[in-house]
A and B are shown apart, each in its own frame.
Chain A
């Protein structure tokens, strides 16, 4: 799948932002006055920057408002609704923390649960797609949730981040380990795609068109996979190992700030791979994956 920067930035930033909003909503990290404003502001900015970035991926953004309508069947629609609901419901809590009003934390807790649900809906947009076997597995939501909760905990300056970060490591390993065999396990081949396997072995004789098209650009992205192994090491190093080391060695708050930067870059690398390594079954028609 084409690793569009807008979608990578969207899912990483908004995931981390909603993770931080969840931590603040639950009240795991509390700050008042200017500090409270900045913390909530950071959560809101990341979440909103992510959502805005997602709209750059739309070819016809003027109809984006209609995306709130199909929650009955569409995870993307549910995500839109959950995201907006989270931002609205958490607003009183943010105000209360900023101005030290001491309002009831119930709003915060509901908003925090919604924030995590939003990340889950994001992950389900990918998980639901059977045509991309690598994504079509429960490990995808686990990976998204691990990133959001860990990223949120680092940004919130919670010491537990040092432990949570290993869940990201485990989720990435599981994702890669399960994902690498997923296409083969799904069992679709050029023979099942064309239905010609009953006759014999199928190969491409001539492509359907001589130059590119939307399918080849969007779904049959084969560029850059050759560096996958190196990128996996970079992702694991920057998202997990280095931030863990920083958290052990460098005292708060600098430790958390540095760890957050490293974790963010690692998360972007991991998300790039999430797309670039995902193979869509439509590639079978073209003999490319």
Chain B
């Protein structure tokens, strides 16, 4: 059903910390690895000259130049934001795309998808990629097959990208609950939504990079650079200096 639930009791999503993310692409790999089971996510010409593939999560790197001070690098993971007002869902003609009433996760039922690609056009965030081999739309599932999976040990019942991140830059939780870890993190750090003016009401939040320390004009090691060499090294220094 491609009409959206009026509201969902839970709003599961991710809080992504742009301060801690080092751009290592571990979440990209973890996501691809976990979701490559079953029908999987196909690649085309993966080891050839022009490789291409289906990914549910991509990590960009940006350089940001403040008005004053040095520019900074911000690594930027991009996956589905599980929007409350998901335009990708309402445009779908087949009913393949839907938003779960119970927890707000936006999913595609591959058995119904006709591969028209309209949902990918409707998504402002590039969160949907058509699988070129299977001809159906793929998107982040919020690892719905992990988070409720009782066959997994407790600590693994979170998205693969969250579990795989070595710096703990991705946090999973319920944004409808103001006491949840992600809600608190977002409140503390001023978490923001992407392109809010487009009216999609994303659930995921991005935590902004923290203010960087002031850049020192001279290196802290500067005094050490003046060390006078003694003994043999001193003699060598003097001799070489004269040549």
Query: Does B122 contact A199, Cβ atoms closer than 8 Å?
Result: no
Give, as a whole number of angstroms, the nearest-CB distance from A49 to chain B.
Answer: 19
| Neighbouring B residues of A204 by C-beta, 8 Å | 60-63
Which of A76, A80, A187 counts the most chain B CB atoms within 10 A? A76
Q: Are A213 and B198 in contact, CB atoms less than 8 angstroms apart?
A: no
Bound Cα distance A77, B95 (Å): 10
Answer yes or no: B67 CB below 8 A from chain A CBs: yes
Q: Which residues of B contact A211 (CB under 8 A)?
A: 50-52
Q: Which residues of B contact A192 (CB under 8 A)?
A: 194-195, 197
Chain B hits for A250, CB < 8 A = none
Contact digits for B53-66, partner A, Cβ 8 Å, 1 yes 0 no = 11100111111111
A59-B130, A60-B114, A193-B194 are contacts. A202–B87 as well, Cβ < 8 Å?
no
Interface flag for B26 (CB, 8 Å): no
Within 8 A of A (CB), among B77-110: 78, 87, 89-96
Judged by a CB distance under 8 angstroms, whether B29 is at the interface is no
A188 touches B126 (CB 8 A): no
Q: Interface stretch among A19-27, A107-115, A122-130?
A: A122-130
The verdict on B175 contacting chain A, using a C-beta distance below 8 Å, is no
- Give the number of residues in B that approach A within 8 Å (Cβ atoms): 68
- Chain A contributes a number of interface residues (CB within 8 A of B) equal to 60
Instruction: Find the residue from A64, A187, A199 having the highest chain B CB count within 10 A.
Output: A199
Q: Mark A216-241, 1 if CB is under 8 A from B, else 0.
A: 00110000000000000000000000
Cα A151 to Cα B136 with chains together (Å): 35
Bound: A128/B93 CA distance, A: 14
A200 touches B (CB below 8 Å): yes
Q: Which of B68-76, B221-229, B235-243 sits within the interface? A: B68-76
Q: Taking the complex as formed, is A100 at the interface, i.e. its CB lies under 8 A from any CB of chain B?
A: no
Q: Is the CB of B60 within 8 A of A199?
A: no
Q: Which of B51, B58, B96, B198 contacts A188 (CB 8 A)?
A: B198
Residue A145 lies at the interface, judged by CB distance under 8 Å to chain B: no
Pick the contact of A70 from B2, B65, B73, B76 — CB < 8 Å?
B2
- Contacts A63-B114, A211-B51 given; indicate if A76 touches B93 (C-beta within 8 A): yes
Contacts of B4 in A (CB 8 A): 73
Known contacts A194-B74, A195-B192, A208-B58; is-contact A72 B117 (Cβ 8 Å): no
A-to-B contact residues, CB < 8 Å: 1, 57-64, 66-70, 72-77, 80, 125, 128-132, 186-188, 190, 192-196, 198-209, 211-215, 218-219, 280-282, 285-286
B residues apposed to A, CB below 8 Å: 1-4, 18, 23, 50-55, 58-67, 71-74, 76, 78, 87, 89-96, 111-118, 120-126, 129-130, 132, 134-136, 192-195, 197-199, 206, 208-209
